[in-house]
């Protein structure tokens, strides 16, 4: 008899067999992330700095001791919670050597001599690319002849890592850095920045007057406003009762493009309803658009923190991520009529379907959560 009468019987309950990090870790190996300065501004310039902090938290969850590697300390404006992230400099590593398990360059590249020294004290040297680097390299030399920055510093790299949605660049990155050891690492996200800087939940309103916000960065052919705006144009013709405005973020970049300014925009029937905005951080955008519907088109760049941020705050957002096609309002540019109906559904019926949408959101966030044991297990095998 395994239990006494009247005691709890869990025979019908499937006990978890997942492998979690124990709470009695006595010696923690260090993982160091080479980064730019983390502050209230840099966190929202793009997803890179957020990714650094999320990876820091991930490795701490896995039982490592994380550090942010910087050449020096700054006095930039930052919320109190950012101060909990430990910073370490080259001088501090030399004066007080620590057992470094892995040194990851993500927001900053270091010179080969520094890498060589770190390897000499036991560190594995990794370069983590989170971007369409092949496209960036081509576009930079074509369009910005005077720009020079240390995007690739070759030498003393043990491994190249990249996210699943940038797998197409792994061979290029590996060859460029003279290593045959390229790995695809799990995509991770956490809502900590939305929480720390204020949550602004979506407020229902009449769909016929609801604004549509286009959030594409407008920095390249694959991150541009064109498809999103054309979708709104087609939608407005099929549903003329919709009278909302079109808020285009990063619109200053569009007005700098003669083709868009002189030919595309004047041909649209919704041209007088378009409002252009400069770049803004996500919290400002949510504050100013409490009842809006969002659209993003980021071809060849499937995963985006912005989509997760908006879904977390219950905002309807149309996205064309093939990797997330089962979650939320997914559309396909090759199925235009269905995309129009998806936009109509997001505008008109979102409040009625909010509980289903929240379920989609919770599952998608857990799929990429730093607390998901499957994610941690994958990272353990890579680290």
Specify if 16 maps to a domain: no
- Is 66 found in the same domain as 209? no
H helix runs in 226-277, sequence order:
226-238, 251-255, 258-259
Contact status, residue 239 vs residue 246, Cβ threshold 8 Å: no
Is the pLDDT confidence value at 143 over 90?
no
Specify if 301 maps to a domain: yes
Residues 202-248 have pLDDT tens digits of 999 999 999 999 988 877 777 788 899 999 999 999 999 999 999 99
- Is 137 found in the same domain as 114? yes
Rounded Cα distance between 53 and 190, Å, is 10
- Is 201 found in the same domain as 182? no
Q: Which residue would you say has higher pLDDT here, 142 or 322?
A: 322
Residue 34 CB-half CA count within 13 A: 21
Q: Which residue would you say has higher pLDDT here, 374 or 107?
A: 374
Q: What is the mean pLDDT of residues 66-71?
A: 92
Pairing verdict, β 100-105 and 182-184: unpaired
- Is 164 found in the same domain as 83? yes
Is the pLDDT confidence value at 1 over 60?
no
pTM reported for the whole predicted model: 0.90
Specify if 316 maps to a domain: yes
Rounded Cα distance between 124 and 109, Å, is 15
pLDDT at position 18, please? 66
The CATH number assigned to the domain holding 175 equals 3.40.50
- Is 362 found in the same domain as 378? no
Q: How confident is the model at residue 150 (pLDDT cuts 50, 70, 90)?
A: low
pLDDT at position 108, please? 84
**β strands within the chain, DSSP E:** 30-34, 65-69, 87-88, 100-105, 124-129, 159-162, 182-184, 212-214, 246-248, 274-276, 293-295, 317-319, 329-330
- Is 199 found in the same domain as 78? no
Rounded Cα distance between 322 and 300, Å, is 10
Contact status, residue 339 vs residue 333, Cβ threshold 8 Å: yes
Lowest-confidence pick of 6-10, 304-308, 336-340: 6-10
pLDDT at position 50, please? 93
Specify if 213 maps to a domain: yes
- Is 244 found in the same domain as 153? no
Specify if 156 maps to a domain: yes
Q: Which two tokens stand for residue 190?
A: 């956490």
pLDDT at position 186, please? 96
- Is 254 found in the same domain as 182? no
- Is 160 found in the same domain as 59? yes
- Is 209 found in the same domain as 74? no
Specify if 21 maps to a domain: no
Q: What is the mean pLDDT of residues 265-274?
A: 94
Domain region containing 201:
195-366
- Is 375 found in the same domain as 247? no
- Is 74 found in the same domain as 119? yes
User: How many structural domains are present in the chain?
Assistant: 2
Specify if 12 maps to a domain: no
Is the pLDDT confidence value at 25 over 70?
no
Specify if 1 maps to a domain: no
The CATH number assigned to the domain holding 216 equals 3.40.50.2000
């Amino acid at each position: 008899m395994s239990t006494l009468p009247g005691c709890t019987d869990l025979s019908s309950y499937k006990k978890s067999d997942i492998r979690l990090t124990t709470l009695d870790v006595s010696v923690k190996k260090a993982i160091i992330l080479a980064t730019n300065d983390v502050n209230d501004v840099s966190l929202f310039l793009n997803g890179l700095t957020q990714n650094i902090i999320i990876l820091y938290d991930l490795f701490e969850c896995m039982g490592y001791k994380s550090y942010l590697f910087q050449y020096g300390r700054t006095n930039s404006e930052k919320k109190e919670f950012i101060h909990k992230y430990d910073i370490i400099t080259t001088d501090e590593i030399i004066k007080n050597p620590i057992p470094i398990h892995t040194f990851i360059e993500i927001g900053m590249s270091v010179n080969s001599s520094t890498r060589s020294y770190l390897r000499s004290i036991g560190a594995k040297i990794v370069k983590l690319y989170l971007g369409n680097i092949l496209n960036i390299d081509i576009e930079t030399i074509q369009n910005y002849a005077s720009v020079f920055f240390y995007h690739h510093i070759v030498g003393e790299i043990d491994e190249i890592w990249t996210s699943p949605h940038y797998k197409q660049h792994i061979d290029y990155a590996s060859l460029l850095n003279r290593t045959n050891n390229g790995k695809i690492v799990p995509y991770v996200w956490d809502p900590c920045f939305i929480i720390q800087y204020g949550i602004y939940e979506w407020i229902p309103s009449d769909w016929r007057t609801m604004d549509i916000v286009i959030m594409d960065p407008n920095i390249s052919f694959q991150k541009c406003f064109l498809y999103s705006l054309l979708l709104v144009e087609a939608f407005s013709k099929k549903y003329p009762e919709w009278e909302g405005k079109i808020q285009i973020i990063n619109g200053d970049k569009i007005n700098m493009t003669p083709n868009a300014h002189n030919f595309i925009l004047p041909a649209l029937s919704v041209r007088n309803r378009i409002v252009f905005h400069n770049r803004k951080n996500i919290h400002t955008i949510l504050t100013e658009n409490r009842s809006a519907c969002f659209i993003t088109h980021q071809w060849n760049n499937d995963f985006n923190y912005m989509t997760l941020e908006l879904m977390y705050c219950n905002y309807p957002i149309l996205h064309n991520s093939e990797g997330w096609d089962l979650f939320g309002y997914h559309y396909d540019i090759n199925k235009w009529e269905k995309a129009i109906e998806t936009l109509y559904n997001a505008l008109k019926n979102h409040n009625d379907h909010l509980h289903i949408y929240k379920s989609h959101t919770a599952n998608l966030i857990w799929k990429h959560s730093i607390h998901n044991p499957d994610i941690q297990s994958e990272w353990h095998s890579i680290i």
